[in-house]
Structure 1
């Protein structure tokens, strides 16, 4: 405890960060959890290319290619040799309705914008780790709901809230990492932070190859989000945030927990 008291007496401008200019075993655990969590989180940003890949169909005796506009067609017969079900086949998005696919992506990215702003504000008020976990739960819940969408209106709405959660995961995970990292290592950790993002792009192709039904794929990428939502139960809140909010006793407990490991 005497050492901990010295922390608050010295390095007055930022006593916690002054002690975080090293990489401890606990830091390694935090980095690993956050880095791995970025893989399923990024899947929800890129998932539309799998939910709605190019599809071909026939209408009577005329074979329609995906880049051909021969409309109308009331009862298209889809070529399901590659993908058994997509957004386009489930909701019949052909001819004039194809623009709804782009609109759904606009809803998702609009949600990401809202999520980044909202969770940035909420993490300042309620804590980095708490909002990090909630953003993953939110993405998982609405990701599962997207896989059960009964119509396009529901799909638009659920994609928006899925985007809100995904935007929150990006902001909260980065801030949590930076507050756990001293200035000496921040450039290195920032660079490493982007590696799992690139890995997620590679792994996404493998997941989609194994799951040719777009809605089964959506369900599969949503379930892992709940696992990372549980981070609030086994990681410590950012000591720097605790200190800036004047939760000194909680700051001491967090640093003691880190020191034990």
Structure 2
């Protein structure tokens, strides 16, 4: 039988799969803690300079006006050392970028589970290194290593939430994963409010990772990855285990043998196939630009929406809360036949771009319709687009190269995040130029996204050979058998006459 038929037999989203996916989804809370850690541990309280006399020399020392525990107050990261706070945050995201590129192809070659567990283990280990860092240099290095593990592990975690269930549930599990990350941002704000010392906060934020690692050790390998690599017997055993744990008994599963997943030169599919394969090359170029624009517009609007000063814990919470309505909104649209993945992605990106454009024509504050409210609406739209592009990308790539494709796309996403803070500097040329950049980027990505094929209610490809026409191979093949049977029955009737 086909792999999707096997999932329908054992249960596309049975109780056992719900338990596994729940553990992976809760892992998003831990990832959010690590991603937002620098926002609170790098808090810069108000300070003033005063003369300090040492050994006959008078210099200006720094005195903080409030008692705040952060890396800034512990290592005096002010004045000429103030850049080190931003540098630590940049090192984390640089590590995420590298992890996206390295872990994706690696998990496609040696398996999801070993790469996932290794990344999670070392992220927890380096996370405790952050809390115990004796100097800024060790702290910065630990953030780079945590980002490296976080980027790769998060990618494989997302793919596992898709590959443990039937394809009809991919949109739901992907949406719940991204929604939980936003909830994690809110929970981190509450944790930071309760735990003020930065070392205690770093330790408390890292503890959920240790618990979740112990729960993840028992997770099985992805049956989709096993099937795509030709390990049909192991995939059948895992699917039978799913059936037993779902309460359906030991159902006999006999999967159709897969064709070879090797390229003509005998090697396994890898990142190079994203360039050489004509279908993959076209999809990858479009997706990389869409991911880049999602990140550029998202962080650009975030910078505009966070200009108001206020309680930093409330600001962090709002950073996550504003994203929550986007996920049920996009889940509704992407599962409708008249909208689907492709049109929904294009519309949300277009609305995000239009929101940026309208921001240039309304007052900054003082009215209900102001720049801040439009920026938040734009962030809502681009958050929905971000969620769709995660689900959409995983459906556009075959199983044998899915993680590699996601890794390359996520890498372009990080490039957009790195460049976003520099766009506001264009105000020196013209006040509206930054928002015009975000507007044109959103609209252009919306148009390019329409070049991608629709994947709603379409079978997913497992190997590169199925990529060219998976629908023809999986849907028309039974029709050929029906035509053959009809032809035989007609011949029998003719002979009897």
Same fold (TM over 0.5): yes
RMSD after superposition: 2.2
Query: Which structure carries more relative contact order (alpha carbon 8 Å, separation 6+)?
Result: 1
Match of 1:224 among 197, 205, 208: 208
- SS at the partner of 1:237? coil
1:49 aligns with 2:39: yes
CA distances 1:231-257 after superposition (whole Å, capped 9, x unpaired): 443221111111222223322321222
1:30 aligns with 2:30: no
Equivalent residue, structure 1, for 2:76: 92
Match of 1:77 among 63, 68, 71: 63
Instruction: Pick which of 207-216 and 18-27 moved more.
Output: 18-27
Equivalent residue, structure 1, for 2:297: none
Alignment partners' CA distance in 2, 1:170 and 1:25: 23
Alignment partners' CA distance in 2, 1:156 and 1:49: 14
Alignment check: 8 A CA contact 1:21 1:184 kept = no
CA distances 1:168-225 after superposition (whole Å, capped 9, x unpaired): 2320111101112322222222222222111101101110011111111111111221
Alignment map for 1:83-122 (pairs within 5 Å) = 83=68, 85-122=69-106
Per-residue deviation, 1:131? 2.0
Alignment partners' CA distance in 2, 1:191 and 1:23: 15
Change in CA separation of 1:160 and 1:52 when aligned onto 2, cut-off 3 Å: same
Alignment check: 8 A CA contact 1:147 1:218 kept = yes
Per-residue deviation, 1:229? 2.0
Alignment check: 8 A CA contact 1:39 1:200 kept = yes
1:171 aligns with 2:155: yes
- SS at the partner of 1:149? coil
Change in CA separation of 1:224 and 1:38 when aligned onto 2, cut-off 3 Å: same
Alignment partners' CA distance in 1, 2:146 and 2:30: 13
Equivalent residue, structure 1, for 2:30: 40
Instruction: Pick which of 231-240 and 140-149 moved more.
Output: 231-240
Alignment check: 8 A CA contact 2:10 2:243 kept = no
Alignment check: 8 A CA contact 1:116 1:167 kept = yes
Instruction: Pick which of 145-154 and 52-61 moved more.
Output: 52-61
Change in CA separation of 1:20 and 1:111 when aligned onto 2, cut-off 3 Å: farther
Which ranges of structure 1 fall in alignment gaps of 5 or more residues? Answer: 1-9, 62-71
Equivalent residue, structure 2, for 1:243: 227
Instruction: Pick which of 87-96 and 246-255 moved more.
Output: 246-255
Instruction: Pick which of 187-196 and 18-27 moved more.
Output: 18-27
Alignment check: 8 A CA contact 2:99 2:149 kept = yes
Which ranges of structure 2 fall in alignment gaps of 5 or more residues? Answer: 52-58, 246-497
- SS at the partner of 1:184? helix
Alignment check: 8 A CA contact 1:129 1:232 kept = no
Per-residue deviation, 1:151? 1.8
Alignment check: 8 A CA contact 1:135 1:229 kept = no
Alignment map for 1:135-214 (pairs within 5 Å) = 135-214=119-198
How many equivalent pairs are there?
239
Per-residue deviation, 1:19? 4.8
Instruction: Pick which of 155-164 and 239-248 moved more.
Output: 239-248
Alignment partners' CA distance in 1, 2:6 and 2:114: 19
Equivalent residue, structure 1, for 2:112: 128
The normalised TM-score by structure 1 is 0.84
The normalised TM-score by structure 2 is 0.45
